[in-house]
Amino acid sequence: MNSTAPQSDRVVAVTGAGTGIGQATARAFAVEGAHVVAIGRRSEPLTETAAGHHRITPLPVDITAEGGPEQIARWVSETFGRLDVLVNNAGVVRSGTLGMLTRRLIAVQVATNLVAPILLTQATLPLLETAGGVGLTPEQMAVVREWQLAHCGRGPPIASVRWPDRAHQDQVHCHRQFRTSTLAAFH
């Protein structure tokens, strides 16, 4: 990160913070001294993540809900007035054969793994940019934009792709790379 702010002033938002990688990430930032906003749909796992970590604050929000990303940005702004790191960790994976995929299964995954991280990053970008110079530099923003265009916007038309090779790989690659690039840009 570019911040000269002391770790104790930094604010980190982690989605999917109630379980697994998100829980470990939230606790790791809290142990380092940052304020951590732990985001997820269910309150109980978030409360568990925060147990014993007074710097972790649970924020139960569905990131795919209409207005969810804006709600998170507003809450962070009103509570802390800054955001130094956004960890777009929340995700759902429903693996299986092509035959078992339904429109609903596809929609949930795309909404959670791709659309929500984009909208949440968009909603929190003003906070990230003004967090004492910690936010994205123009070069870092260019990395994220360039990646999105290269991997999501300029991919082959889905109809011309043979399942499961490119279509599946591209979709998975797309959202994973987006999160990785976003994280890399914020660090």
For residue 30, give every residue at least 6 positions away whose Cβ sits within 8 Å of its Cβ, in sequence order, or none: 36, 53, 55, 56
Q: Closest CB to ligand NAP among 119 and 131?
A: 119
Q: Name the minimum Å distance from CB 102 to ligand NAP.
A: 18
Q: Name the minimum Å distance from CB 40 to ligand NAP.
A: 4
**Cα 18 to Cα 40: distance, rounded to the nearest angstrom:** 6
Q: Which residues bind ligand NAP (CB under 6 A)?
A: 15-16, 18-22, 39-42, 45, 62-64, 89-93, 112
Q: Name the minimum Å distance from CB 57 to ligand NAP.
A: 15
| Residue 24 phi, psi (nearest 5) | -65, -40
Q: Name the minimum Å distance from CB 12 to ligand NAP.
A: 16
Q: Is the dihedral of CA 52, 29, 84, 21 positive or negative?
A: negative
Q: Closest CB to ligand NAP among 60 and 132?
A: 60
Q: Name the minimum Å distance from CB 124 to ligand NAP.
A: 14
Other CB atoms within a 10 A radius of the CB of residue 53 amount to 15
On whether the CB atoms of residues 32 and 9 are closer than 8 A, the answer is no
Residue 132, Cβ density class (10 Å: 0-12 exposed, 13-18 middle, ≥19 buried): middle
Q: Closest CB to ligand NAP among 86 and 134?
A: 86
Q: Closest CB to ligand NAP among 112 and 134?
A: 112
Q: Closest CB to ligand NAP among 2 and 19?
A: 19
